Structure 1
Amino acid sequence: MAIFAKPARALLCAALIAASTAEARAPAAGEPRIRTDRIILLDIQRVGGQLFSAGEQGWILRSDDDGASWQAVQTPADRTLTGLAFADDRLGIAVGHGATLLRTTDGGRQWTKVELDGIGRDSLLGVTHLGGQRFVVYGAFGHYLESLDGGLSWERKPVLDEEFDRHIARVLKVGGQLFLFGESGTLLRSSDLGASWERLPSPYEGSFFGGLATSSGTLLAFGMRGNLYRSTDHGDSWTKVPLETRAALQGGLVLADGRIVLLGNAGLVAISDDDGRSFAPGDKARGGLAQAVAVADGLLAVGDSGVQALRLASSTAN
């Protein structure tokens, strides 16, 4: 979740039929109690048969039943968590404000704090798993760190050069390439998993908050004021995709059937069934949404109104 934007994201499909709120289950002795409709959550990820969500005050929630109930997991963090990534069903990393970095090796039941050198108390805005034991974390003022040992140790890496200081919102792995989306229209590409970077021509001077890649290789870059751009040549050129909104786009996902869902502030949902050439508005969700995952009967979205379950209509695409 970008530090330079209000929390948001949302849901999918040409019909968002119903919205409901999940409740945290009754905690066992020693577990914290939390209302899942009264907490800001900025990321949600599926890890095997489990869901994990992270957000304000260091909270991490875990669900074993596709979001029907949630367990609050105690962590050593008290700052807002912005992102999650897992290597497998045991090893995971969470990052957040105040240079917070947490690590789990038991499938998210326990988290330990890892101290980072060289970034002060600046915010980390995201984490990306690059394969095996390799992760990168990134965030404010160009901070970009890499771990080759599953998050035990981290080394700061330059992006472009030592003077690079733009906020990094998202690093996306697409095959053997990395794409970096950030502040002030920053679009970068690496063909060696971050050892070197090249600046891509940017169609926009405002901040990008994220990007997606479809199964066909199409890239989408999105950000402030409903700005959305599409590339079919690995980022060498970009075409603006019109959207009927000025709301910031914060995230999204590509569904198994190929549809693309973009998520934004003020409950914005936009859906494409033509590989991102055009988008239609979905029903407005409750509050700002930060991210979503697909579940058996629709989507589960998180944001500034906690967890929302939304049922989706079947795709009409051929």
Structure 2
Amino acid sequence: MAIFAKPVRGLLWAVCIAASAVRAETPGLPQATIDPARIILLDIQRVGSQLFSAGERGWILRSTDDGGHWQAIRTPADRTLTGLAFADERLGIAVGHGATLLRTTDGGQQWTAIPVEDIGHDSLLGVTHLGGQHFVAYGAFGHYLESLDGGSSWSRKTVLNEDFDRHIAKVLKAGPDLFLFGESGTLLRSRDLGQNWEALQSPYEGSFFGGLQTPSGALLAFGMRGNLYRSSDQGQSWQLIPLSVKVAVQGGQVLSDGRIALVGNAGLLALSQDDGRSFSLSKAAHGGLSQIVAVADGALAVGETGVQYLSLTKTTAN
């Protein structure tokens, strides 16, 4: 089950971030001080020139200078937030534990809780924007929700069949198709944006925590104990990519120069320069990392110890 924490830190970035706590400034609510190096954060996303990160106790952090300074935004949630997705620079969705669904229409300054009837209290572990006003949110025990109106309303959808109850860690849009990565080696594909799903032959019985599409259009699936697989035929077959580590891989991103960066537990950073066919490794940070985003001279990762700066040049051959 992909419930995890991650870290952040490095050189001047680390010093600046750790030295200055962030004051929350949500109108009408008491101010609070948040240290971005002392809060568990589970996702970070770039939205135009801004960065947003979500984490424990319903907090969302926002930066307009690539992580040099952070504004803490108090949301209506008091549970851990696990994922963020934006349609544009104003409309965004955040999800989290206790079936938390939040929506912003002003670029993340204020967030509104969206009630969903009969949703229960199972954790939502991620959210994906599929284009236009179309979002999907997903999580524990096969929980899968769809919104066609920018997150104003949501309906629960069946995945695969009525008995499907695997934890869903990631839904990835790759071209016209959706790929679903989850618990117990779950790999699914949809050709119609999630209305119908087919099970793919999985190369692995352990849990997948995420996936991404490489610059060439290949797929990567990653998860527990350093397991990483690559498919060049839209999920029909998978090749093991050895990482020589036994820690979970939690998140990843394709960088602007075409390299692929993966992060995981124990401060793991893995970089590929050949479209995901091989990776070089380093212990780049403290604690577990959940997601990474590129900045001007490196990257920021989030996790168990908040936001950390990562150098993308110091790795060792796998």
TM-score, normalised relative to structure 2: 0.93
SS in 1 for 2:311: strand
Structure number with greater CO (CA < 8 Å, separation at least 6) is 1
Distance 1:295 1:20 in 2: 14
- Whether 1:301 aligns to 2:295 is no
Assess if the C-alpha contact under 8 Å between 2:103 and 2:112 holds in 1. Answer: yes
- Give 1:106's aligned residue: 106
- Whether 1:7 aligns to 2:5 is yes
Assess if the C-alpha contact under 8 Å between 1:10 and 1:252 holds in 2. Answer: no
1:227-246 alignment, distance < 5 Å: 227-246=227-246
Matched AA of 1:288: G
CA change 1:245–1:200 in 2 (3 A) is same
CA change 1:287–1:110 in 2 (3 A) is same
SS in 2 for 1:172: strand
- Give 1:266's aligned residue: 266
Superposition deviation, residue 282 in structure 1: 2.4
Q: Which runs of 4+ in 1 moved over 6 A?
A: 16-19
- Give 2:172's aligned residue: 172
- Whether 1:289 aligns to 2:289 is yes
Assess if the C-alpha contact under 8 Å between 1:47 and 1:89 holds in 2. Answer: yes
Superposition deviation, residue 269 in structure 1: 0.9
- Give 1:66's aligned residue: 66
Assess if the C-alpha contact under 8 Å between 2:266 and 2:283 holds in 1. Answer: no
Distance 2:142 2:7 in 1: 24
1:37-76 alignment, distance < 5 Å: 37-76=37-76
1:59-117 deviation line (CA, Å, top 9, x unaligned): 00111111101111111000000000000000000000000000000000000001122
- Give 2:189's aligned residue: 189
Distance 1:110 1:181 in 2: 31
Distance 1:73 1:10 in 2: 19
Distance 1:26 1:160 in 2: 45
Distance 1:306 1:154 in 2: 31
- Give 1:92's aligned residue: 92
Matched AA of 2:287: G
- Give 2:216's aligned residue: 216
Distance 2:286 2:41 in 1: 13
Assess if the C-alpha contact under 8 Å between 2:4 and 2:290 holds in 1. Answer: no
Distance 1:173 1:270 in 2: 23
> Quick check: 138-147 or 30-39, which moved more?
30-39
Matched AA of 1:224: M
Assess if the C-alpha contact under 8 Å between 2:284 and 2:310 holds in 1. Answer: no
Matched AA of 1:20: A
Assess if the C-alpha contact under 8 Å between 2:6 and 2:305 holds in 1. Answer: no
- Give 2:199's aligned residue: 199
Distance 2:13 2:279 in 1: 21
1:18-60 deviation line (CA, Å, top 9, x unaligned): 7615134455584321111110000001111111100000000
Superposition deviation, residue 192 in structure 1: 0.6
Assess if the C-alpha contact under 8 Å between 1:134 and 1:148 holds in 2. Answer: yes
Matched AA of 1:155: S
Distance 1:208 1:18 in 2: 34
Matched AA of 1:268: L
Distance 1:198 1:34 in 2: 44
- Give 1:33's aligned residue: 33
Assess if the C-alpha contact under 8 Å between 1:262 and 1:271 holds in 2. Answer: yes
Distance 2:48 2:2 in 1: 32
Identity, % of aligned pairs? Answer: 68
Assess if the C-alpha contact under 8 Å between 1:241 and 1:277 holds in 2. Answer: yes
TM-score, normalised relative to structure 1: 0.93
Superposition deviation, residue 314 in structure 1: 9.7
Distance 1:204 1:312 in 2: 29
How many residue pairs get matched?
309
- Whether 1:20 aligns to 2:14 is yes
Superposition deviation, residue 310 in structure 1: 2.4
Distance 1:278 1:211 in 2: 16
Distance 2:276 2:145 in 1: 31
Distance 1:61 1:248 in 2: 25
Distance 2:246 2:13 in 1: 24
